[in-house]
Amino acid sequence: MTRKLGRGAVALVTALTIAAPAALIPAPASAYVFNDVRIEGAQRVEPATVLSYANIARGQDVSAGELNAALQRLQNSGLFETVEVEPRGGVLVIRVSEYPTINQISFEGNRRIKDEQLAQVVQSQSRRVYEPSQALSDAQNIANAYAAEGRMAARVDPKIIRRSDNRIDLVFEIREGDLTEIERISFTGNRAFSDRRLRDVLATKQAGLLRRIIRADTFAPERIQVDQQMLTDFYRSRGYADFQVQAVAPEIARERDAFYITFNIQEGPRYRFAQVNTVSEIPGVDASAFAAQNRVNQGDVYNPAAIDNTIRRMETVAIQQGLDFVNIEPRVTRNPQNQTLDLTFALTRGPRVFVERIDIEGNTTTQDQVIRRQFTTVEGDPFNPRAIRNTAERIRALGYFSDAQVNSRQGSSDQQVIVDVNVEEQPTGSLSFGASYGVASGVGLNVALNETNFLGRGQTLGISIATADGDQQSSINFAEPFFLGRDLRFGFNTYYNVTENLNSDYNTRSVGLRPSIEFPISDNGRLELRYRISKETLSNLDEDSSRILRAEEGQRVTSSLGYSYRWDTRITGLDPLTNYKLNFSQDFAGLGGDVKAVTTTVLAGVESNAWREEITLRGEFEAGSIHGYDDYSPWILDRFRGGSKIRGFEPNGIGPRDLGAENEDGLGGNYFWAARAEAQFPVGLPEEYGITGGLFADVGSIWGLDDTRGSGGHTVDDGMKVRASVGASIFWTTPIGPLRFNFSHAVKKEDYDEEQNFDLTISTRF
């Protein structure tokens, strides 16, 4: 008896067999016995392969259920588009139709992601056998690529176009859809800070006016964990030691075109430090030297960074005293009743573990020594987990790597560890073209080439050229941050600048060379030593210029030694709410050359956040003087000429002025001082727009000349005349750079001063 299972019958029998083969396919009265198996339709697949999947034995009884099982195995092999099994007496005919070969793969409907990028995420390949399951998987991979771009509503359908010779074209039809933006980020449980303030902390942003440009407003699941850590760091650095992110609930709209994210947080009380002690649990080790390094004071708001800084300082004392395997253990006791913390720094003996080896992998360009010098530990030193964690942060801060992981594992014994450094390099060079605008200088163009990891040595090299109306500047900069194998920053700068009638009736040209060395002298302080040699030229003065300037026309060579001391609390970042800075510098000209003068400047500033940190207050005081010696009188290119020291006035618009000259030239002064205060605050617009407002007030003066004999017998008034201005600012943080619009009004000035009521600074790259 011959039974033939056609395409439709085979499919039906197969489906029934899957559900209940024993119940739905009755066994024949006598089983099949096949003396031969004939295979039809196989072209690329070997007959032996077909037989291995069918697994039908010759000369033995074969039931209908076994035939159905053979059919299932052949269909599930993924090698054939259709399969038929036909018994013909003692011969079993297996007729197969192989899947076609892919002729080419193409993409239709894609505009946001290029074909070359999509080709990298699909596994199907030309001249390979078409597999429907793989095509579906490729479609999902393409959809995932669009989801990573913020287009969660993207749809991808694989289609086939039949060609001759059992070939097909595989086409992925793509409907990209709109961006799936974050329409709202909200918080529950926050009392100390507003939603607006907390949204500023997050890396994820709400959709705003620039949603087509800004990509931070698209949903990225991997950013949620980062956001949680940023919120935790924000709260705990402000005294909320018990802060927790209890849950994060991202919800997608039904149309899949928007996300709504809610952070459920628990702030807890705000703690201050009460009792702060240092104890030693190591015999023979006195705690007094360690206690002297404590930087946590009673009454201070709890801040983990202050504890960490104290531990780091105490560990340094242990090293200086030759004490190994000393742990500084901070023990915190909470007092919820009065919201205080008792803190004890306990000196304990740690396990005797040494660093056996430091292995570095993944750096194809960056030299090993650039990474190794970030370690304060070398092979053979006692193992300090804190030092390793700090090293990992320093390596990431270099900016040379897209990812940097530093981990430790057991070495050749229990007393040794191996430190593994795995990095993934990223481009460190940039070529930028830009445009700038200033009210005084007009529109300008600039080009800059920068490399922050030159030849993989961690060196910085920069070349820049900028031109504007009446102003051309060019420079070459080089810096070696680890000169002579120490924390010495060697810098080298050469420049060539030209101005032509820039807010003046004369031209200047300056060319110079400036090498420098900078090194730390305290946790927050650094000292720079420098030398400068330059040649300045004052030219193109006409007969209407001041007699004083005409007498100074010509060129002079300056050879000077100088230093700058910079103290900045942002280096250690102990107080997240208030930062202080102080810069003091002096330059001594006269080591050869024509100029013999001492120039001194000082700048002190403070920045603090107020009103739940939504208002930023800034204050600065700046002053300077230049004194000539050996009968040398500072000339116009030595003296202070204003610049942006007092807003509301043009560069060179205040200070001594020769009113007897027809040009009424600004002469600059030997002395200046300026005090500036401003407040920056939200203006009610959504924070994702990046627009805030500000108010400012400036006051100061420029005065003092060695020669006050002006033109036409007039005497130049070089007294300290106070100027003052007030104004408002609009700050706009955009993807093309920060913009600041200043609208100012001079409230105290001299009749001859030159005002500037509006100023705009813009920097754009393309």
Q: What is the pLDDT of residues 75-118, one digit of tens each?
A: 888 778 888 888 888 888 899 888 888 999 999 999 889 999 99
Residue 221: pLDDT over 80: no
Of 138, 123, 42, the residue nearest 81 (C-alpha):
42
Measured CA to CA, the distance from residue 10 to residue 85 in angstroms comes to 8
- Asked whether 595 and 560 are in contact (CB, 8 A), the reply is yes
**Which numeric CATH code is attached to 181-266?**
3.10.20.310
**Which numeric CATH code is attached to 568-765?**
2.40.160.50
Measured CA to CA, the distance from residue 5 to residue 12 in angstroms comes to 10
Judged by DSSP in three states, 269 sits in coil
- Asked whether 575 and 303 are in contact (CB, 8 A), the reply is yes
CATH classification of 354-425 is 3.10.20.310, yes or no? yes
- Asked whether 743 and 410 are in contact (CB, 8 A), the reply is no
Judged by DSSP in three states, 610 sits in strand
Six-digit token string for 732 = 């706009």
Q: What is the pLDDT of residues 465-521, one digit of tens each?
A: 988 777 889 999 999 999 988 889 999 999 999 988 655 678 899 999 999 999 999
What's the residue count for the chain?
Answer: 766
Residue 688: pLDDT over 80: no
Q: Where are the domains of the chain?
A: 7-98, 101-175, 181-266, 272-349, 354-425, 444-500, 568-765
Residue 314: pLDDT over 70: yes
Residue 641: pLDDT over 80: yes
Fold match between domain 181-266 and domain 354-425:
yes
**Which numeric CATH code is attached to 101-175?**
3.10.20.310
Domain 272-349: what homologous superfamily?
A: membrane protein fhac (3.10.20.310)
Q: What is the pLDDT of residues 358-367, one digit of tens each?
A: 999 999 999 9
Class of domain 7-98: alpha beta
Q: What is the pLDDT of residues 529-558, one digit of tens each?
A: 999 999 999 998 888 889 999 999 999 999
Measured CA to CA, the distance from residue 315 to residue 327 in angstroms comes to 8
pLDDT value of position 149 = 77
Burial profile 442-468: b = 16 or more Cβ within 10 angstroms, e = fewer: eebebebebbbbbebebbbbbebebbb
For residues 45-55, give the mean pLDDT.
85
Beta bridge partners of 250: 261
pLDDT value of position 305 = 86
For residues 661-675, give the mean pLDDT.
91
For residues 169-198, give the mean pLDDT.
89
- Asked whether 752 and 734 are in contact (CB, 8 A), the reply is no
Give phi and psi for 139, each to the nearest 5.
-60, -40
pLDDT value of position 29 = 41
Residue 7: pLDDT over 70: no
For residue 173, with 0-12 CB atoms within 10 Å meaning exposed, 13-18 middle and 19 or more buried, which class applies? middle
pLDDT value of position 208 = 62
Higher per-residue pLDDT: 747 or 35:
747
In the numeric block, the tokens 């500023």 are attached to 200
Residue 715: pLDDT over 50: yes
Specify the DSSP class assigned to residue 290: H
- Asked whether 345 and 317 are in contact (CB, 8 A), the reply is no
Q: How far is CA 670 from CA 49, 598, 625, 647, 706, in A?
A: 96, 11, 6, 20, 8
For residues 188-196, give the mean pLDDT.
91
Q: What is the pLDDT of residues 273-289, one digit of tens each?
A: 999 999 999 999 999 99
Q: How far is CA 280 from CA 351, 419, 525, in A?
A: 16, 30, 30
Confidence tier at 376 by pLDDT (50, 70, 90):
confident
Q: What is the pLDDT of residues 397-450, one digit of tens each?
A: 898 998 899 999 999 998 999 999 999 999 888 887 766 665 556 677 888 899
